[in-house]
Amino acid sequence: MTSVPDPGAVLEARDVHKSFRAHHVLRGADLRVAPGQLVGVVGENGSGKSTLLKTLAGTLPADRGEVRLSGSLGYCPQVPVLNHNLTVGQHLRYFAAAHRLPGLDRGRELIRRLGYEQYEEKPAGELSGGTLQKLNLTLALLHDPDVLLLDEPYQGFDWETYLHFWDLVEDLRERGRAVVIITHLVFEQDRFDRLEDLVGGRLEPRTVSGRDTHVNV
């Protein structure tokens, strides 16, 4: 039976199930994200975080349940899907054309804010892991999506880039964009509006309190 959509949610998942053969990874995951909300999904390795994000992004069909998205989507997968022969600048132009953007201003601004302008003419195949991750993030943000899904976005970032990353997220949030971040490491819980633990294939809200709490689950 189709349930009634939540009018206040920009992204909503209800009773999502996903199995790989006999392995039931998602067993009724529910998630609701409102505009301007920053939600962290935390879980141990192999708990199904990436599987959940792929089903939310629509790149992996759920076996059961519903995912509703209103507005545009930006998705930053854990492993960047890039063409190693194309330069940073070429990726920017290619994705800007795919999104029918009028120019490259936003892309250049993101490159500047993430501090990798010097690599604009370098092929992706010659970039370091952290710089590839910056490009991955830039491309997901290029069209200023209403909902942004980020899979382990700051792994490989140095501390300064990590802080720039949060500045960017704060800007998005202030402009009403919804952000879902998947991570197995939460350095600062109070950056999030809500944390959800993925346990046994279901999401359980965690009370966010305190500052600089290091959670390694």
Ligand X SMILES: Nc1ncnc2c1ncn2[C@@H]1O[C@H](COP(=O)(O)OP(=O)(O)OP(=O)(O)O)[C@@H](O)[C@H]1O
Distances (CA, A) of 26 to 22, 184, 192: 12, 17, 23
User: Taking CB under 6 A as the rule, does residue 153 contact ligand X?
Assistant: no
Give the type of residue at 147.
V
Residue span binding ligand X (CB under 6 A) among the ranges 8-16, 40-48, 116-124, 129-137: 40-48
User: Taking CB under 6 A as the rule, does residue 145 contact ligand X?
Assistant: no
Which listed residue (11, 29, 31, 51) binds ligand X by CB under 6 A? 51
Q: Residue 79 CB, nearest distance to ligand X (Å)?
A: 10
Both structure tokens of 63: 């076996």
Q: Residue 45 CB, nearest distance to ligand X (Å)?
A: 4
Give the type of residue at 17.
H
Q: Is 99 buried (19+), middle (13-18) or exposed (0-12) by CB count in 10 A?
A: middle
Which listed residue (16, 37, 38, 50) binds ligand X by CB under 6 A? 50
Nearer to ligand X (CB atom), residue 20 or residue 94: 20
Alpha carbon distance, N-terminus to C-terminus of the chain: 36
Residue span binding ligand X (CB under 6 A) among the ranges 6-14, 39-47, 120-128, 166-174: 39-47
Which listed residue (37, 40, 47, 96) binds ligand X by CB under 6 A? 47
**Which positions from 181 through 210 interact with ligand X, judged by CB under 6 A?**
184
Q: Is 66 buried (19+), middle (13-18) or exposed (0-12) by CB count in 10 A?
A: middle
Residue span binding ligand X (CB under 6 A) among the ranges 48-56, 85-93, 104-112, 156-164: 48-56
Encoded one letter per residue, x for contact with ligand X by CB under 6 A and - for no contact, window 6-35 reads: --------------x----x----------
Nearer to ligand X (CB atom), residue 7 or residue 61: 61
User: Taking CB under 6 A as the rule, does residue 85 contact ligand X?
Assistant: no
Calpha distance 137→18 (Å, rounded)? 26
Distances (CA, A) of 159 to 1, 12, 41, 163, 209: 47, 32, 21, 6, 23
Calpha distance 10→146 (Å, rounded)? 8
* Site residues for ligand X per CB under 6 A: 20, 25, 43, 45-51, 184
